[in-house]
Structure 1
Amino acid sequence: MKRTFIVPVMMVSSVIGLTSCVALSKKDYRKLIAERDSLQNTLADCGSKGDSLQALNHKLKGDTSNLGDQLRLAQEQNELLFKDYTALRNNSSGEIKKLSADLAARERNLREVEAILKSRDEATNALQKKLSKALLGFSESGLTVSVKDGKVFVSLTDKLLFDTGSIIIDTKGKEALDELAKVLKTQPDINILVEGHTDNAKVRNLGQIKDNWDLSVLRATSVVRYLTEVQKLEPIKLEAAGRGEFIPVTMENTTEAKSKNRRIEIILSPKLDEIYKLLQVKN
């Protein structure tokens, strides 16, 4: 690269002019030569540093260009990420709103179910109290009224209803069923399951009754017939079942224990149509 150094040349020219017009001493001459050499060295250093600075400048320009490219790439990626984030946020917002609405609906549904169950429990307890009061006179004959799992259980021992091995309801048993029917007629929203139970003694010499299954079923159907045909309860509400000897009250093998196991259980359960409807809506 061509450089112009005005000051040093002028100084050299001045020196030459001086030497041509004025006689210099050797001392002055050497001094001037030394100054010239110093200036030339300085000039060389400046040239070297100038080259280094130019190289550094070139490198910095290259780095700046690379950084500019990286910045543009980062900006493009940032824009893409922002678009993805915006789309995801919009979708998430919609999903969150939907989930929140579903959750709110489920909570409302649950509160409605809980309210219905609470109402049913209150009705069940009221029915239990009403039956206990109506059937109080038969408690000494082995009749009990209890609540279990949201249902009312009216348990009548076989000695209250039947003679030994018989499926024909006796007078005392009919009186108990008459009082029971009076209460049941005031309860339009209940289902009635009549279960027959026996002890584990084998059935002998009972004609058409082959075993405890037969005896338990026939006793249950006798009670159902009396309640529907005599007391005029709606047949659609009643169901008869025989459990035989397989759901005993007690496992003891005493005469008293066997007497407890021989029983008719009338299980009264509230209709859960409202709850079923709610669950169907929920699903």
Structure 2
Amino acid sequence: MKKLILLSVVSMFILGSCVSKKEYAALEAKQKETQDMLNTATVKLNSCLSDAAAANARVEQLRDQLADLRKANQDLIDTKGNLTTLTQKGAENLERSLESLKERDLKITRLQDALTKKDSVTLAIVTSLKREVGISDPDIEINVEKGVVFISIADKLLFQSGSYNVTNRAKEILAKVAKVINSKPNFEAMVEAHTDNVPYKRDVLLDNWDLSVKRATSVVRVLESLEVNPQQLIASGRSYYVPLVENDTAENRAKNRRTRIVVLPKIDQFYEMVETEMKNLAEGK
């Protein structure tokens, strides 16, 4: 990947003298996109490596405990000279302890595999969103936060000032987001609308709560019109209570007026996956 980036940069310098400014800018934007994708992949890789190291350390600890128990069992047998001094019940208890450690080891391995798979899917979604939506617009941010993927769109791209009607420019962006959501039928998309702290009251809308909820439902309706399964959609209004920055300047208030589309796995399906693994373990599969 690093070689690909270096080749891209060198190509940009070589072509810079013989291509138009528009082509040069396109190449430069492509290089930035590639670099951002590499940075994201590197962060996820480091996280996965850290998680894997922790899981491996735990596995080694359990294996050491297993070895200690086996040695203790053998020492008892060797010391007494025969199995008559070790009651049948005690032997069964020790064997159950050994089996329990084996099961725990297997559970950790399976859960680690599940988490690794989830991280891989998360990274794939980020890559898909960046490819479909594009990252050249500073008013569109795609990132991962607390294990979930989100795309944050500035208020000025989605709505006219004080309005909850989605603009045509926003519909173009949402069409690309819909394409990614439709490719992940096992995920949900929560539309989370935020306002600044300037009091709002117009027509039937009483306050900023009403405005944020109405904006969230407006975006949901656009996604639904783009054939996104309504069962995957959640409309959420946050009013002005979760600001990114203080609402002390016009610029900061503009930052706080935003809509986030959060793409996250269905919790019930995640628990179902874990329960299935536990059931397979109990049945010895």
State whether TM-score is above 0.5: yes
* 2:255 paired with 1:260: yes
Q: In 2, Cα distance between the equivalents of 1:86 and 1:241? A: 68
> Which amino acid in structure 2 is aligned with residue 161 of structure 1?
L
1:25-174 equivalences in 2 (<5 Å)? 89-136=87-134, 139-140=137-138, 142-174=139-171
Q: In 2, Cα distance between the equivalents of 1:274 and 1:224? A: 23
Partner in structure 1 of residue 231 of structure 2: 236
Spell out, residue by residue over 1:150-194, the C-alpha distance to the aligned partner (whole angstroms, 9 max, x if none): 211100111110011111101111111011112222122211111
Q: In 2, Cα distance between the equivalents of 1:116 and 1:239? A: 25
Partner in structure 2 of residue 221 of structure 1: 217
Tell me, which stretches of 5 or more residues in structure 1 are unaligned?
A: 1-81
Query: Deviation at 1:250?
Result: 1.0
> Which amino acid in structure 2 is aligned with residue 92 of structure 1?
G
Structure showing greater Rg: 1
Q: In 1, Cα distance between the equivalents of 2:92 and 2:188? A: 46
Question: 1:146–1:234: structure 2 CA closer, same or farther, 3 Å change rule?
Answer: same
Query: Deviation at 1:137?
Result: 6.2
Secondary structure at 1:244's aligned position in 2? coil
Percent of matched pairs sharing the same residue? 34
> Which amino acid in structure 1 is aligned with residue 158 of structure 2?
L
Paired residue for 1:202, among 196, 199, 202? Answer: 199
- Output the aligned Cα RMSD: 2.2
Query: Deviation at 1:271?
Result: 3.4
Secondary structure at 1:139's aligned position in 2? coil
> Which amino acid in structure 1 is aligned with residue 197 of structure 2?
N
Q: In 1, Cα distance between the equivalents of 2:111 and 2:149? A: 20
> Which amino acid in structure 1 is aligned with residue 145 of structure 2?
K
> Which amino acid in structure 1 is aligned with residue 220 of structure 2?
V
Question: 1:115–1:274: structure 2 CA closer, same or farther, 3 Å change rule?
Answer: farther
Q: In 2, Cα distance between the equivalents of 1:138 and 1:159? A: 16
Partner in structure 2 of residue 249 of structure 1: 244
Query: Deviation at 1:103?
Result: 2.6
Q: In 2, Cα distance between the equivalents of 1:86 and 1:163? A: 86
- Whether contact under 8 Å (2:193, 2:213) holds in the other structure is yes
Q: In 2, Cα distance between the equivalents of 1:110 and 1:137? A: 38
- Whether contact under 8 Å (1:196, 1:220) holds in the other structure is yes
